[in-house]
Amino acid sequence: MLNNLLSHILSLSIWVPILAGVAVLALGSDKTPNATRWIALVGGLAAFAATIPLYTHFNFAYGGFQFQEGIRWIPAFNINYHLGVDGIAVPLILLTSFTTVIVVIAAWEVITLRIAQYMAAFLIMSGLMIGVFSALDSILYYVFWEAMLIPMFLVIGIWGGPNRVYATIKFFLYTLLGSLLMLVAFIYLYYQTGSFEVVDFYALPLGLKPQILIFMAFFMAFAVKIPMWPVHTWLPDAHVEAPTGGSVVLAAIALKLGGYSFLRFAMPISPDAAHYLAPMMITLSLIAVVYIALVALVQQDMKKLIAYSSISHMGFVTLGFFIFNSLGLEGAIVQMISHGFISAAMFLSVGVLYDRMHSREIADYGGVANTMPTFAAFAVLFAMANSGLPGTSGFVGEFMVILGALQANFWFAFLASTTLIFGAAYTLWMVKRVFYGAIANHHVAELKDINKREFLILGVLAIMVLGFGLYPAPIIEITHATVLQFISQMHNKIPSVVSAATY
């Protein structure tokens, strides 16, 4: 029985949250708000529990796909329901199911309108994103990838701010446009290999020109999602308008879908193009790191500032990918996980303030530390982590990427490390303006400190940020074998370990 469950653990990770979401929709309503919230929380916790065996039963020494399961799905086109994870996907899946629980708790008293639909949207989205991280058939992957746009579209549009319609339609169309080109690439690869299996794509030898076209199609899809400069403009809009939960999921997980997909598709399928286009990718990454950090510096709106900070941090991730050494790659993965916790915490902190003041303008605040001391302590910790202070998880990833970049080229490392200055500048300046100084106005004077629920979510995230900052080994260990295999795969097109589908 246990073994049977274990062999379907990925399906469980995907479908438990989706079914929980359907159950919330069916059973919950605004007339029974507390029951709805509890159903959602139980569903979220069950979904989180379902993903834990992925870590505890993972074979750390093996770099290929594990927990594989598959059935034939659409034989007409040789499309299979094929799932499997490697060391890169597992931490991201755990991050997803963990964040979903946080989002459900964070919405507890905040969302009072159409609670069931809100909770269901996040639970279903969680299952779909786990699906993206674990699909090994490209059409299955594509279905999950696109389907997750629908709940996010609704979340921003229904519960968002005043300009929500513009933001959510922009978000949807940007992402859709990029993804459709990826679909064309998948179909092209299908006619080259006769299947939609990712591992078959890896094994396909391709000339440089088709590789470049395929890489560009993938680039359109993933660069929008990460987002990379210059296709990042949807993100600040979406973040500003989205409700807190939406911002958390966008920043903590949705952006990682793009980063992960570079590692799963674009780079291993077209490695020569990846090497060939690396200068372009590194340039774009460095522009994101430096230029977007400067843009963040001048923001008046807290959420917008964090949104730009996210783009800047994701620039580190893509930089780590395209310097092609294990230090940079592992650093990028650590950075993705760490940014998941830190950005979630930052957006939740803004959410705490917004729920009380209904303003995200930095100018409306000042001296919050006087009235909310506990909250200020958390906020300062997360701000430090965001600017990459040693001892927090934010430092580990950035430091590894900078070291990796140093191996590749001194100037990459030099430009990348300016983030330690700019990041500290925009984050700490915001903290200074919001939390310190004299109490700015009577609204701030009337603020109440965080309640137990808010303490709980911020506390858990603080433990994560500090924990991975002091002891990042769990992430590095689980990814190490996969990263080594990935690096070798990037050097020869035929992968060393290709696990054949067994059905």
Partner 1 sequence: MDNIQYDMITALPEIIVLSMAMFILILDLFLTDKTRFFIYVLAQFTLFAAAYFTLTTHTPSVGYSFSDMFVDDALSDVLKLMMYLSTSLILVYTRNYIKLRGMFRGEFYALVLFALLGMMIMASGQSMLTIYMGLELLSLCVYSLVAFDRDNVKATEAAMKYFVLGALASGLLLYGMSMIYGATGTLNISQIAAALIDPTLIQSTGSHPVLILGVVFIVSGLAFKLGAVPFQMWVPDVYEGSPTAITLFIGSVTKLSAFAMVIRLLAQGLQPLALDWQGMLLIMAVCSMVIGNITAIAQTNLKRMLAYSTISHIGFLLFGLMSASLNGYASAMFYIASYVIMSLASFGIVLLLSRKDFEADKLDDLKGLNQRNPWIAFLMLIVMFSMAGVPPTLGFYAKFTVLQAAVQAGFIWFVVFAVLMAAIGAFYYLRVVKLMYFDEPVDHTPIQPSADMKIVLSINALALLALGLMPQSLMTLCAYAITHSLQYPK
Chosen residue from 39, 154, 290, 319 binding partner 1 by CB under 8 A: 154
157 binds partner 1 (CB under 8 A): yes
- Annotate each residue in 185-224 with x if it binds partner 1 (CB under 8 A) or - if it does not, as one string: --xx-xx---------------------------------
1 binds partner 1 (CB under 8 A): no
Residue 134 burial class via C-beta count within 10 angstroms: exposed 0-12, middle 13-18, buried 19 and up: buried
Cβ neighbours, 10 Å, residue 502? 7
In 3-state terms the chain splits into helix, strand, coil percentages (rounded to 5) of 75, 5, 20
DSSP H or E segment with residue 73: strand 66-74
User: What is the per-residue burial (b if ≥16 Cβ within 10 Å, else e) of 367-404?
Assistant: bbbbbbeebbebbbbbbbbbbbbeebbbbbbbbbbbeb
| Residue 218 to residue 145: CA distance in whole angstroms | 13
Q: Are 80 and 72 in contact (CB under 8 A)?
A: yes
Q: Are 337 and 366 in contact (CB under 8 A)?
A: no
Q: How many residues bind partner 1 (CB under 8 A)?
A: 33
29-58: which residues touch partner 1 (CB under 8 A)? none
Between 246 and 328, whose beta carbon lies closer to partner 1? 246
Chosen residue from 1, 2, 61, 76 binding partner 1 by CB under 8 A: 76
Strand partners, 361: 301
Q: Are 90 and 11 in contact (CB under 8 A)?
A: no
CB of 230 to partner 1, least distance (A): 18
Between 28 and 469, whose beta carbon lies closer to partner 1? 28
Chosen residue from 42, 169, 278, 297 binding partner 1 by CB under 8 A: 169
CB of 176 to partner 1, least distance (A): 5
What does the block give as tokens for 401? 């990427």
Binding segment toward partner 1, per CB under 8 A, in 141-149, 286-294, 296-304, 376-384: 141-149
Binding segment toward partner 1, per CB under 8 A, in 143-151, 265-273, 290-298, 321-329: 143-151
262-301: which residues touch partner 1 (CB under 8 A)? none
CB of 360 to partner 1, least distance (A): 20
Chosen residue from 19, 150, 466, 484 binding partner 1 by CB under 8 A: 150
Provide the 3-class DSSP secondary structure of residue 197: strand
Q: Are 58 and 478 in contact (CB under 8 A)?
A: yes
Binding segment toward partner 1, per CB under 8 A, in 42-50, 75-83, 90-98, 239-247: 75-83
- Annotate each residue in 374-403 with x if it binds partner 1 (CB under 8 A) or - if it does not, as one string: ------------------------------
133 binds partner 1 (CB under 8 A): no
Helices 149-159 and 164-193, axial angle in degrees (round to 10): 180
Q: 230 preceded by cis ω (within 30°)?
A: yes
CB of 458 to partner 1, least distance (A): 30
98, 123, 385 from 299: Cα distances, Å? 30, 32, 20
Between 149 and 465, whose beta carbon lies closer to partner 1? 149
Report CA Rg, the chain.
Answer: 22
Backbone angles phi, psi at 148, to 5 degrees: -70, -15
Chosen residue from 164, 232, 356, 480 binding partner 1 by CB under 8 A: 164
Binding segment toward partner 1, per CB under 8 A, in 152-160, 262-270, 283-291, 301-309: 152-160
CB of 185 to partner 1, least distance (A): 10
Residue with tokens 């708790």: 105
Chosen residue from 5, 177, 203, 298 binding partner 1 by CB under 8 A: 177
Between 65 and 190, whose beta carbon lies closer to partner 1? 190
Instruction: For Cα atoms 201, 204, 205, give the angle at the middle one, nearest 5 degrees.
Output: 145
Instruction: For Cα atoms 361, 365, 366, give the angle at the middle one, nearest 5 degrees.
Output: 145
- Annotate each residue in 86-125 with x if it binds partner 1 (CB under 8 A) or - if it does not, as one string: -------------------------------x--------
Instruction: For Cα atoms 366, 367, 368, give the angle at the middle one, nearest 5 degrees.
Output: 95
Chosen residue from 75, 162, 205, 207 binding partner 1 by CB under 8 A: 75
| Residue 300 to residue 310: CA distance in whole angstroms | 16
| Residue 430 to residue 436: CA distance in whole angstroms | 10
Binding segment toward partner 1, per CB under 8 A, in 135-143, 368-376, 420-428, 429-437: 135-143
CB of 157 to partner 1, least distance (A): 4
Alpha helix positions (H), 57-137: 89-106, 115-134
Binding segment toward partner 1, per CB under 8 A, in 166-174, 325-333, 359-367, 441-449: 166-174
Between 270 and 335, whose beta carbon lies closer to partner 1? 270
Strand partners, 204: none
74 binds partner 1 (CB under 8 A): yes
142 binds partner 1 (CB under 8 A): yes
DSSP state of 363: G
Chosen residue from 6, 26, 71, 173 binding partner 1 by CB under 8 A: 173
**Residue among 44, 463, 472, 483 at smallest CA distance from 249:** 44
Between 191 and 492, whose beta carbon lies closer to partner 1? 191
Binding site for partner 1 (CB under 8 A): 73-77, 117, 139, 142-143, 146-147, 149-150, 153-154, 157-158, 164-165, 168-169, 172-173, 176-177, 180-181, 183-184, 187-188, 190-191
